[in-house]
Amino acid sequence: MRRKVMLTCAVTGNITTPEQTPHLPITPEQIANAAIDCAKAGAAIAHIHVRNPETGRPSMEIPLYREVMDRIRSSGTDVVINLTTGPGGRFVPSRDDPRQAAEGSTLISPEGRVAHIVELKPEIATLDMNTMWSGSGVVINAPWSITRMAELIYSVGTIPELEVFDSGDIALAKNLMQQGVLKGPCLFQVCMGIRWGFDWSPETLHYAKSIIPQGSPWAAFAIGRMEFPMLAQAWLLGGHVRVGLEDNIYLNKGELAVSNTVLVERAVRILREFGIETMTAAEARAELSQVGGWSR
């Protein structure tokens, strides 16, 4: 029997804007409904950011996360919930005085970045390992900050999904595993196509996979037009997969995806062409039970 794969849907993200696509979920109701529909279409995991319902801008408000989770659970959908901890790590240096934060900076304490995780206790929380230039600013994830965030994530029985954007991020993860900060085997997510990080090529993904610690489950995704080619490549290399409007807003060249669901449906069709089925949420939980720190 050929192995099944975990399919994650990243439904709204932190970067994609309503100006780019009118189909982006904004309100808690829209985000929750997107996660529910994607689960019905074959996604086992919903990766969730929240947004200000009035402006569409990224938000970190705990009540918004709570409403999304409550709506998903009250629907009877058992999709595995994965909440982001990415917001709150950006520093935009002022041109006049680079030591000062300019407009767009969001850098806050590690405690602030995981406050919603401690409060709501999702099954998975992302934990970014990268420090890299991104757009007009730098994403900063200092080892001491990652250490504190991991401590708080583990303290409520949530497991961290390690987001790695380049080889140095994996090296840092290995070091933190050796120190006992991260409890192996860890769950890795290889993020590809973000400028100045991992390229979206088969060679790059093969290299990334080769340096992930043995026995650690991993997944990969690529942004933009390489979303589906790299989905197939991730499966071929033994990884799990991810799609969603956070990563890619097009179904075909010049054709906007009208929902996250159509992206999930295409992913499922591609995998079935290889004879592969996606895991149910229950099967994903069984897979995740092998990850260090899982206590559900």
What integer pLDDT is reported at residue 77 of this predicted model? 95
Strands (E), 129-278: 132-134, 137-139, 159-164, 187-192, 218-222, 240-243, 250-252, 255-256
pLDDT at position 295 over 80: no
pLDDT at 196: 92
Sign of CA dihedral 269, 254, 48, 223: positive
How much is the pLDDT for 225? 94
Burial of 173-208, coded b for 16+ CB within 10 Å and e otherwise, reads bbebbeeebbbbbbbbbbbbbbeebbbbbeebbeeb
The residues spanned by each domain of the chain are: 7-87+115-288
- pLDDT at position 161 is 98
The CA distances from residue 258 to 19, 65, 151, 224, 226, in Å, are 14, 23, 39, 15, 18
Mean pLDDT computed over 211-229: 96
pLDDT at residue 3 greater than cutoff 90:
no
pLDDT for position 182:
98
Q: How high is the pLDDT of residue 1?
A: 47
**Does residue 273 register a pLDDT over 60?**
yes
Lowest mean per-residue pLDDT among 15-19, 60-64, 220-224: 15-19
User: What pLDDT does residue 113 have?
Assistant: 97
Q: What is the pLDDT of residue 200?
A: 93
What mean pLDDT comes out for the span 159-176? 98
Mean pLDDT of 179-199: 96
What is the pTM for the complete model shown?
Answer: 0.96
> How does residue 2 score in pLDDT terms, banded at 50, 70 and 90?
low
Higher-scoring residue by pLDDT: 134, 295: 134
Summarize pLDDT for 69-120 with one digit per residue, the tens: 999 999 999 999 999 999 999 999 999 999 999 999 999 999 999 999 999 9
* 296: pLDDT strictly greater than 90: no
Q: Which CATH architecture has domain 7-87+115-288?
A: Alpha-Beta Barrel (3.20)
The per-residue pLDDT for range 129-154, each reduced to its tens digit, is 999 998 889 999 999 999 999 999 99
